[in-house]
Structure 1
Protein backbone atom coordinates (compact mmCIF):
# COMPACT_ATOMS: atom_id res chain seq x y z
CA UNK A 1 0.00 0.00 0.00
CA UNK A 2 1.30 3.44 -0.90
CA UNK A 3 -0.32 5.01 2.19
CA UNK A 4 -2.54 7.64 0.57
CA UNK A 5 -5.63 8.04 -1.57
CA UNK A 6 -6.10 10.33 -4.54
CA UNK A 7 -9.35 12.19 -3.81
CA UNK A 8 -9.54 13.84 -7.23
CA UNK A 9 -7.63 13.72 -10.52
CA UNK A 10 -8.13 16.10 -13.44
CA UNK A 11 -6.11 16.13 -16.67
CA UNK A 12 -6.30 18.69 -19.44
CA UNK A 13 -4.52 20.73 -22.09
CA UNK A 14 -2.44 23.81 -21.21
CA UNK A 15 -1.22 26.94 -22.97
CA UNK A 16 1.68 24.80 -24.29
CA UNK A 17 0.40 22.27 -26.87
CA UNK A 18 3.23 19.90 -25.86
CA UNK A 19 2.17 19.72 -22.20
CA UNK A 20 -0.84 18.54 -20.24
CA UNK A 21 -1.62 19.52 -16.66
CA UNK A 22 -2.57 16.92 -14.08
CA UNK A 23 -4.17 18.12 -10.87
CA UNK A 24 -4.10 15.61 -8.01
CA UNK A 25 -5.98 16.22 -4.78
CA UNK A 26 -4.40 14.22 -2.00
CA UNK A 27 -5.24 14.64 1.68
CA UNK A 28 -2.46 13.95 4.13
CA UNK A 29 0.24 15.34 6.36
CA UNK A 30 3.54 16.79 5.11
CA UNK A 31 5.12 13.31 5.01
CA UNK A 32 2.38 11.97 2.74
CA UNK A 33 2.52 15.01 0.45
CA UNK A 34 6.31 14.72 0.18
CA UNK A 35 5.94 11.01 -0.69
CA UNK A 36 3.49 11.89 -3.48
CA UNK A 37 5.79 14.65 -4.77
CA UNK A 38 8.81 12.28 -4.88
CA UNK A 39 6.83 9.56 -6.66
CA UNK A 40 5.59 12.04 -9.28
CA UNK A 41 9.07 13.47 -9.82
CA UNK A 42 10.38 9.94 -10.58
CA UNK A 43 8.17 9.82 -13.68
CA UNK A 44 10.36 10.82 -16.64
CA UNK A 45 7.68 12.83 -18.42
CA UNK A 46 6.84 14.99 -15.36
CA UNK A 47 8.23 18.49 -15.97
CA UNK A 48 7.36 20.07 -12.60
CA UNK A 49 5.46 19.30 -9.38
CA UNK A 50 3.91 22.24 -7.48
CA UNK A 51 1.94 22.10 -4.23
CA UNK A 52 -0.59 24.87 -4.88
CA UNK A 53 -1.99 24.57 -1.34
CA UNK A 54 1.25 26.18 -0.12
CA UNK A 55 0.31 29.36 -2.06
CA UNK A 56 -2.69 31.64 -2.47
CA UNK A 57 -4.69 29.88 -5.17
CA UNK A 58 -8.02 29.60 -6.96
CA UNK A 59 -9.70 26.20 -6.91
CA UNK A 60 -12.73 25.09 -8.95
CA UNK A 61 -14.80 22.00 -9.68
CA UNK A 62 -17.25 21.63 -12.58
CA UNK A 63 -20.39 19.49 -12.43
CA UNK A 64 -23.19 18.49 -14.77
CA UNK A 65 -26.29 17.22 -13.00
CA UNK A 66 -29.65 15.94 -14.24
CA UNK A 67 -32.55 16.37 -11.86
CA UNK A 68 -36.24 15.46 -12.12
CA UNK A 69 -38.65 18.35 -12.48
CA UNK A 70 -41.88 17.29 -10.79
CA UNK A 71 -44.96 19.39 -11.60
CA UNK A 72 -44.63 22.80 -10.01
CA UNK A 73 -40.95 22.36 -9.12
CA UNK A 74 -39.30 23.88 -12.22
CA UNK A 75 -39.46 27.43 -10.89
CA UNK A 76 -37.99 26.34 -7.51
CA UNK A 77 -35.17 24.50 -9.29
CA UNK A 78 -34.53 27.47 -11.59
CA UNK A 79 -34.35 29.77 -8.55
CA UNK A 80 -31.82 27.49 -6.82
CA UNK A 81 -29.74 27.32 -10.00
CA UNK A 82 -29.68 31.14 -10.09
CA UNK A 83 -28.78 31.41 -6.39
CA UNK A 84 -25.84 29.03 -6.92
CA UNK A 85 -24.89 30.85 -10.17
CA UNK A 86 -25.36 27.74 -12.27
CA UNK A 87 -26.90 27.36 -15.73
CA UNK A 88 -29.63 25.15 -17.10
CA UNK A 89 -28.01 23.72 -20.23
CA UNK A 90 -30.69 21.23 -21.35
CA UNK A 91 -34.41 20.87 -20.73
CA UNK A 92 -36.30 17.60 -21.14
CA UNK A 93 -39.95 16.80 -20.58
CA UNK A 94 -39.40 15.64 -17.00
CA UNK A 95 -35.84 16.65 -16.09
CA UNK A 96 -33.27 19.41 -16.60
CA UNK A 97 -29.48 19.33 -16.94
CA UNK A 98 -27.61 21.88 -14.84
CA UNK A 99 -24.02 23.08 -15.14
CA UNK A 100 -22.41 24.51 -12.03
CA UNK A 101 -18.84 25.34 -11.08
CA UNK A 102 -17.12 26.61 -7.99
CA UNK A 103 -15.42 25.45 -4.83
CA UNK A 104 -16.08 21.91 -3.69
CA UNK A 105 -18.26 22.99 -0.74
CA UNK A 106 -20.53 24.98 -3.10
CA UNK A 107 -20.93 21.95 -5.39
CA UNK A 108 -21.69 19.69 -2.40
CA UNK A 109 -24.26 22.16 -1.04
CA UNK A 110 -25.98 22.34 -4.44
CA UNK A 111 -26.14 18.54 -4.67
CA UNK A 112 -27.82 18.40 -1.26
CA UNK A 113 -30.39 21.01 -2.37
CA UNK A 114 -31.19 18.96 -5.50
CA UNK A 115 -31.52 15.54 -3.79
CA UNK A 116 -35.19 16.03 -2.76
CA UNK A 117 -36.15 16.55 -6.43
CA UNK A 118 -34.45 13.33 -7.56
CA UNK A 119 -30.98 13.43 -9.10
CA UNK A 120 -30.95 11.08 -12.11
CA UNK A 121 -27.35 11.58 -13.23
CA UNK A 122 -24.28 13.46 -12.02
CA UNK A 123 -20.70 13.88 -13.25
CA UNK A 124 -17.87 16.04 -11.91
CA UNK A 125 -14.50 17.01 -13.33
CA UNK A 126 -12.64 16.90 -10.05
CA UNK A 127 -10.91 19.91 -8.60
CA UNK A 128 -8.50 22.02 -10.59
CA UNK A 129 -6.37 24.84 -9.19
CA UNK A 130 -4.03 27.64 -10.19
CA UNK A 131 -1.74 29.85 -8.08
CA UNK A 132 -2.90 33.47 -7.92
CA UNK A 133 -0.91 36.14 -9.76
CA UNK A 134 1.04 38.62 -7.67
CA UNK A 135 0.82 42.36 -8.31
CA UNK A 136 3.89 44.60 -8.29
CA UNK A 137 3.00 45.70 -4.73
CA UNK A 138 3.13 42.08 -3.53
CA UNK A 139 -0.63 41.62 -3.18
CA UNK A 140 -2.43 38.81 -4.95
CA UNK A 141 -4.53 39.48 -8.05
CA UNK A 142 -7.91 39.02 -6.36
CA UNK A 143 -10.46 41.80 -6.01
Structure 2
Protein backbone atom coordinates (compact mmCIF):
# COMPACT_ATOMS: atom_id res chain seq x y z
CA UNK A 1 0.00 0.00 0.00
CA UNK A 2 1.26 3.43 -0.86
CA UNK A 3 -0.09 6.95 -0.63
CA UNK A 4 -0.56 9.02 -3.80
CA UNK A 5 -1.16 12.76 -4.07
CA UNK A 6 -3.22 13.38 -7.20
CA UNK A 7 -3.58 16.92 -8.56
CA UNK A 8 -6.55 17.31 -10.90
CA UNK A 9 -7.50 20.35 -12.96
CA UNK A 10 -11.25 20.41 -13.52
CA UNK A 11 -13.82 22.71 -15.03
CA UNK A 12 -15.21 24.96 -12.30
CA UNK A 13 -18.85 23.92 -12.62
CA UNK A 14 -21.62 22.67 -10.38
CA UNK A 15 -21.51 18.95 -9.67
CA UNK A 16 -17.89 18.24 -10.59
CA UNK A 17 -16.91 17.57 -6.97
CA UNK A 18 -19.87 15.21 -6.63
CA UNK A 19 -18.86 13.30 -9.78
CA UNK A 20 -15.25 12.90 -8.63
CA UNK A 21 -16.24 11.86 -5.09
CA UNK A 22 -18.90 9.52 -6.54
CA UNK A 23 -16.24 7.74 -8.57
CA UNK A 24 -14.37 6.93 -5.36
CA UNK A 25 -17.44 5.81 -3.43
CA UNK A 26 -18.84 3.65 -6.26
CA UNK A 27 -15.59 1.73 -6.45
CA UNK A 28 -15.09 1.50 -2.69
CA UNK A 29 -11.92 3.63 -2.68
CA UNK A 30 -11.23 5.89 0.27
CA UNK A 31 -10.20 9.55 -0.01
CA UNK A 32 -7.65 10.32 2.72
CA UNK A 33 -7.88 14.06 2.06
CA UNK A 34 -9.43 16.36 -0.51
CA UNK A 35 -8.88 20.06 -1.16
CA UNK A 36 -10.44 22.18 -3.90
CA UNK A 37 -9.91 25.76 -4.99
CA UNK A 38 -9.94 28.02 -8.03
CA UNK A 39 -6.78 28.50 -10.08
CA UNK A 40 -5.68 31.77 -11.71
CA UNK A 41 -8.34 31.02 -14.30
CA UNK A 42 -11.73 31.21 -12.51
CA UNK A 43 -13.13 28.64 -14.96
CA UNK A 44 -10.66 25.98 -13.73
CA UNK A 45 -10.34 24.54 -10.22
CA UNK A 46 -7.58 22.37 -8.76
CA UNK A 47 -8.53 19.33 -6.71
CA UNK A 48 -5.83 17.67 -4.67
CA UNK A 49 -6.79 14.17 -3.60
CA UNK A 50 -4.74 11.91 -1.36
CA UNK A 51 -5.59 8.23 -1.71
CA UNK A 52 -3.98 5.05 -0.42
CA UNK A 53 -3.88 1.76 -2.28
CA UNK A 54 -1.73 -0.72 -4.11
CA UNK A 55 -0.35 0.15 -7.55
CA UNK A 56 -3.32 -1.43 -9.36
CA UNK A 57 -5.89 0.54 -7.33
CA UNK A 58 -4.06 3.83 -7.80
CA UNK A 59 -3.68 3.19 -11.53
CA UNK A 60 -7.40 2.39 -11.76
CA UNK A 61 -8.28 5.63 -9.94
CA UNK A 62 -6.24 7.61 -12.46
CA UNK A 63 -7.84 5.83 -15.43
CA UNK A 64 -11.37 6.36 -14.07
CA UNK A 65 -10.71 10.06 -13.41
CA UNK A 66 -9.76 10.59 -17.08
CA UNK A 67 -13.27 9.44 -18.06
CA UNK A 68 -14.97 12.32 -16.21
CA UNK A 69 -15.85 15.03 -18.75
CA UNK A 70 -14.93 17.95 -16.45
CA UNK A 71 -11.41 16.61 -15.80
CA UNK A 72 -8.86 18.60 -17.84
CA UNK A 73 -5.54 17.28 -16.50
CA UNK A 74 -4.35 14.72 -13.94
CA UNK A 75 -0.91 14.75 -12.33
CA UNK A 76 0.26 12.27 -9.73
CA UNK A 77 2.62 14.47 -7.74
CA UNK A 78 6.03 12.82 -7.31
CA UNK A 79 7.00 12.88 -3.63
CA UNK A 80 10.57 13.94 -4.34
CA UNK A 81 9.72 16.65 -6.88
CA UNK A 82 6.66 18.37 -5.39
CA UNK A 83 5.80 20.83 -2.68
CA UNK A 84 2.89 19.63 -0.53
CA UNK A 85 1.51 21.45 2.50
CA UNK A 86 -1.38 21.30 4.93
CA UNK A 87 -2.92 23.91 7.21
CA UNK A 88 -4.12 23.13 10.72
CA UNK A 89 -5.95 25.23 13.31
CA UNK A 90 -5.64 23.94 16.88
CA UNK A 91 -7.66 25.28 19.81
CA UNK A 92 -5.85 24.66 23.10
CA UNK A 93 -7.14 25.26 26.63
CA UNK A 94 -4.49 27.30 28.41
CA UNK A 95 -4.37 29.55 31.45
CA UNK A 96 -2.77 32.99 31.11
CA UNK A 97 0.22 31.69 33.09
CA UNK A 98 0.86 28.88 30.55
CA UNK A 99 0.37 30.96 27.37
CA UNK A 100 4.09 31.65 27.08
CA UNK A 101 4.76 27.89 26.89
CA UNK A 102 2.42 27.58 23.91
CA UNK A 103 3.98 30.68 22.31
CA UNK A 104 7.47 29.18 22.67
CA UNK A 105 6.42 25.89 21.06
CA UNK A 106 4.65 27.83 18.31
CA UNK A 107 7.79 29.91 17.63
CA UNK A 108 9.92 26.79 17.24
CA UNK A 109 7.55 25.48 14.55
CA UNK A 110 6.92 28.91 12.98
CA UNK A 111 3.27 28.59 13.91
CA UNK A 112 1.10 31.62 14.64
CA UNK A 113 -1.22 32.25 17.53
CA UNK A 114 -4.22 33.66 15.67
CA UNK A 115 -6.71 34.02 18.54
CA UNK A 116 -6.45 34.45 22.30
CA UNK A 117 -9.31 34.27 24.79
CA UNK A 118 -9.32 34.08 28.59
CA UNK A 119 -9.14 30.27 28.59
CA UNK A 120 -7.79 29.23 25.20
CA UNK A 121 -5.63 30.04 22.20
CA UNK A 122 -5.95 29.05 18.57
CA UNK A 123 -2.72 28.20 16.79
CA UNK A 124 -2.31 28.13 13.00
CA UNK A 125 0.43 26.03 11.41
CA UNK A 126 1.27 25.28 7.79
CA UNK A 127 3.65 22.51 6.78
CA UNK A 128 4.08 18.87 5.94
CA UNK A 129 1.93 16.27 7.67
CA UNK A 130 4.93 15.07 9.66
CA UNK A 131 5.66 18.62 10.91
CA UNK A 132 2.03 19.10 11.94
CA UNK A 133 1.92 15.70 13.66
CA UNK A 134 5.15 16.49 15.57
CA UNK A 135 3.70 19.85 16.68
CA UNK A 136 0.53 18.17 17.93
CA UNK A 137 2.62 15.64 19.88
CA UNK A 138 4.45 18.49 21.64
CA UNK A 139 1.09 19.80 22.85
CA UNK A 140 0.58 16.52 24.74
CA UNK A 141 0.59 18.20 28.16
CA UNK A 142 -2.15 20.62 27.13
CA UNK A 143 -5.85 20.03 26.50
CA UNK A 144 -6.59 20.24 22.80
CA UNK A 145 -10.24 21.21 22.39
CA UNK A 146 -10.52 21.13 18.60
CA UNK A 147 -8.41 20.50 15.53
CA UNK A 148 -9.31 21.50 11.97
CA UNK A 149 -7.00 20.21 9.22
CA UNK A 150 -7.38 21.28 5.60
CA UNK A 151 -5.85 18.24 3.97
CA UNK A 152 -2.89 18.27 1.63
CA UNK A 153 -2.53 20.57 -1.33
CA UNK A 154 0.49 20.61 -3.58
CA UNK A 155 2.22 21.60 -6.78
CA UNK A 156 4.89 19.92 -8.85
CA UNK A 157 8.23 21.77 -8.87
CA UNK A 158 9.46 23.50 -12.00
CA UNK A 159 7.82 25.54 -14.75
CA UNK A 160 5.14 23.00 -15.70
CA UNK A 161 1.59 24.15 -15.10
CA UNK A 162 -1.72 24.52 -16.86
TM-score under structure 1 length normalisation? 0.87
The equivalent residue for 2:101 is: 76
Establish whether residue 2 from structure 1 lines up as the match of residue 27 from structure 2: yes
Distance in structure 1 (CA, Å) of the matches to 2:110 and 2:53: 31
Q: 1:39 to 1:98 in 2, by over 3 A?
A: same
Larger % of helix: which?
2
User: Which structure shows the higher strand fraction?
Assistant: 2
- For these two proteins, the number of residue pairs brought into alignment is 134
- Corresponding residue of 2:123: 98
**Which one of the candidate residues 64, 84, 87 is aligned to 2:89?**
64
Structure 2 residue aligned with 1:85: 110
Report the counterpart of residue 139 of structure 1 in structure 2: none
Corresponding residue SS for 1:50: strand
1:52 paired with 2:77, answer: yes
8 A Cα contact 2:111 2:123, kept in partner: yes
- Contact persistence 1:3–1:32 (CA under 8 A): no
Structural RMSD (CA): 1.6
TM-score of the superposed pair, with normalisation by structure 2 = 0.77
Matched, 1:36 2:57: no
What runs of 5+ residues in structure 1 fail to find an aligned partner?
135-143
Alpha-carbon distance in 1 for matches of 2:43, 2:93: 42
Partner residue in 2 for 1:13: 38
Query: How far off is 1:55 after superposition?
Result: 6.0
Q: Does 1:126 align with 2:151?
A: yes
Q: 4+ residue runs of structure 1 moved beyond 2 angstroms?
A: 1-4
1:113 match: 138
SS in 2 for 1:119: strand
Residue 140 of structure 1 aligns with which residue?
Answer: none
